[in-house]
């Protein structure tokens, strides 16, 4: 668990410092959007999260190569998380900046494809699963069924996280709750039956720390993570699930994620959150402005 805590702290500090240096760049017109209140702010700031996990991976790799400490168990999950973040971050950034009009959700993207139009969103829908499959190959033990299962968990988690990125800080708060559940699911068997893959959470904790490094600015409506940050954050959650949990748990998570993705086509998560007092309280916590 030490590698995960260290990753969280490193991600938080790295993202905070990078955002301080990148504010001017993100104030340029190409990044400017309006949020749910019509207030102007920078989009795609979540790409900083991707950069933070790469810096962490590079630093850990150098430390390991120098023989200064033995942190190998957390290195591979961190490396896989970085590669996954790069793929989904690239697709998310393209989607953020392309601003495709009239095509959102699965139905919108499929309609665009049927009309022979490949939007940034539909490209992400096609290439995202491919990115997931490439990254999770080493977790599948040569089984095609496990490969498809792991790829589905990662891709569905990436898309679901993006669906929660509709208000300041929401996707980071939801991800934090999911991480707490995942830590418990990983640590409890550790107490009873010997060590589980706790170092497998190292990459996810680094990503989450970086998201928290941007949280204050996000709550103040100075930035939005955008698809460039939400998609990689969700994908990292999915990857951590398939690394640390059993196949049975991964199947259950895949079913849950699929149901939530399909439900989003008919139900507004924002309306559900705002109409449920405990969820509304958590969602509004720390915000400068509230719906």
Does some domain include residue 291? no
Biggest CA pair distance of the chain: 57
Note the pLDDT of residue 101: 61
User: Is the separation of the CB atoms in 216 and 284 below 8 Å?
Assistant: no
289 within a domain of the structure (yes/no): no
CA atoms lying within 13 Å on the CB side of residue 105: 12
**Using an 8 Å Cβ cutoff, are 6 and 74 in contact?**
no
Q: Which residue in the block uniquely carries the two structure tokens 């998570």?
A: 253
Q: CA of 264: how far to CAs of 159, 161, 163, 217, 256, in Å?
A: 11, 11, 8, 27, 12
pLDDT (tens digit per residue) in 195-239: 467 778 999 999 999 999 999 999 999 999 999 999 999 999 999
| Helices marked H in the chain | 2-26, 47-66, 72-98, 105-114, 120-135, 144-164, 170-193, 202-213, 215-219, 227-244, 247-263, 269-275, 277-284
33 in any annotated domain: yes
Residue 75 three-state SS: helix
Look at residue 85 and tell me if it is in a domain. Answer: yes
- What is the band of 194 on the pLDDT scale with cuts at 50, 70, 90? very low
Euclidean distance between CA atoms 236 and 190, whole angstroms = 22
Percent of the chain residues topping a pLDDT of 90: 66
> What pLDDT digit, counting tens, does each position of 136-162 carry?
999 998 899 999 999 999 999 999 999
Residue 98 included in any domain: yes
**Is 174 a domain residue?**
yes
pTM, to two decimals: 0.90
pLDDT over threshold 80, residue 48: yes
Average pLDDT of the residues in 102-120: 68
Helix (H, G, I), strand (E, B) or coil at 168: coil
* Phi, psi of 42, deg, nearest 5: -85, 135
Residue 82 belongs to domain spanning:
2-284
Number of folded domains in the chain? 1
pLDDT of residue 229: 96
Domain annotation covers residue 290: no
Query: 121 CB contacts (<8 Å, ≥6 apart)?
Result: 95, 100, 103, 104, 108, 109, 112
* Residue 242 to residues 157, 259, 281, Cα–Cα distance (Å): 11, 18, 31
Residue 238 forms part of a structural domain:
yes
């Amino acid at each position: 668990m030490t590698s995960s805590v260290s990753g969280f702290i490193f991600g938080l500090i790295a993202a905070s410092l990078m955002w301080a240096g990148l504010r001017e760049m993100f104030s340029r017109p190409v990044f400017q959007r309006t949020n749910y209140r019509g207030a102007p702010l920078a989009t795609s700031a979540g790409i900083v999260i991707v950069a933070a996990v790469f810096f962490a991976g590079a630093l850990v790799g150098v430390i390991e190569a120098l023989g200064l400490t033995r942190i190998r168990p957390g290195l591979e999950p961190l490396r896989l998380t970085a590669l996954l973040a790069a793929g989904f971050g690239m697709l998310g950034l393209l989607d953020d900046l392309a601003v495709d009009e009239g095509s959102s959700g699965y139905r919108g993207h499929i309609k665009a494809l049927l009309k022979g139009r490949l939007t940034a969103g539909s490209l992400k829908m096609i290439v995202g699963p491919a990115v997931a499959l490439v990254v999770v190959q080493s977790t599948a033990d040569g089984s095609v069924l496990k490969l498809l299962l792991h790829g589905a968990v990662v891709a569905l988690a990436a898309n679901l996280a993006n669906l929660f990125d509709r208000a300041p800080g929401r996707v980071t708060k939801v991800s934090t709750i999911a991480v707490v559940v995942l830590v418990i699911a990983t640590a409890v068997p550790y107490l009873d039956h010997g060590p589980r893959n706790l170092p497998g959470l190292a990459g996810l904790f680094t990503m989450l720390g970086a998201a928290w490094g941007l949280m204050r600015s996000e709550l103040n409506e100075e930035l939005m993570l955008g698809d460039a940050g939400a998609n990689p954050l969700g994908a990292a959650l999915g990857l951590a699930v398939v690394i640390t949990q059993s196949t049975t748990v991964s199947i259950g998570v895949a079913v849950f994620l699929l149901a939530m993705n399909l439900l989003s086509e008919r139900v507004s998560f924002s309306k559900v959150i705002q109409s449920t007092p405990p969820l509304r309280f958590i969602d509004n916590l720390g915000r400068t402005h509230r719906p």
